[in-house]
């Protein structure tokens, strides 16, 4: 069976789809997988990670079953999206040279995962709508 996206793919409502695409594709390196321009929708991917972005409608219906509350900034409160990458150093350098503000600087941490201890290099930033993105790479300890 054809599956165009991973089994779990978050869909993020965004205030300006063009701004979000610039951020995700031009700055972070995501690629457009497919889009439905007439619906203000695009699916993007980076490595094995994928996101769906949807433009918030100007006339957002209060009875829209997809929206559970006011879409006040910052969006995505209470969640951070971990995105595993192959070369975190290169991505981190690209962000530093763009003057992008990081919410969590590049750091090395260890996390218990069952019987294993994983050594991870990570940093975190917010997208234009306030969603938290935590980029990580497992490193040898």
CATH superfamily of the domain spanning 11-58+79-138: 2,3-Dihydroxybiphenyl 1,2-Dioxygenase, domain 1 (3.10.180.10)
> What pLDDT, on a 0 to 100 scale, did the predictor assign at position 86?
96
Dump pLDDT digits (tens) for 72-127: 899 999 999 999 999 999 999 999 999 899 999 999 999 999 999 999 999 999 99
3-state secondary structure of 130: coil
Take residue 22 and report the two structure tokens written for it.
């610039």
CB 94 within 8 A of CB 26: no
Q: Is 0.85 topped by the overall pTM?
A: yes
**Domain boundaries along the sequence of the chain:** 11-58+79-138
Take residue 74 and report the two structure tokens written for it.
């910052």
The CA distance from 120 to 16, in Å, is 33
Within 10 angstroms of residue 80's Cβ, the number of other Cβ atoms is 14
């Amino acid at each position: 069976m054809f599956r165009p996206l991973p089994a779990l793919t978050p869909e993020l409502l965004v205030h300006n789809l063009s701004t979000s695409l610039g951020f995700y594709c031009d700055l972070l390196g995501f690629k457009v997988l497919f889009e439905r321009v007439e619906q203000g929708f695009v699916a993007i991917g980076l490595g094995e990670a994928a996101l769906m972005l949807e433009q918030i409608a100007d006339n957002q219906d209060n009875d829209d079953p997809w929206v559970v509350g006011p879409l006040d900034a910052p969006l995505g409160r209470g969640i951070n999206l971990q995105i595993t990458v192959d070369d975190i150093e290169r991505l981190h350098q690209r962000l530093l040279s763009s003057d992008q503000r990081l919410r969590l600087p590049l750091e090395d941490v260890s996390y218990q995962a069952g019987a294993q201890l994983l050594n991870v290099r990570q940093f975190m930033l917010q997208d234009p709508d306030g969603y938290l993105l935590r980029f990580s790479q497992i490193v040898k300890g």
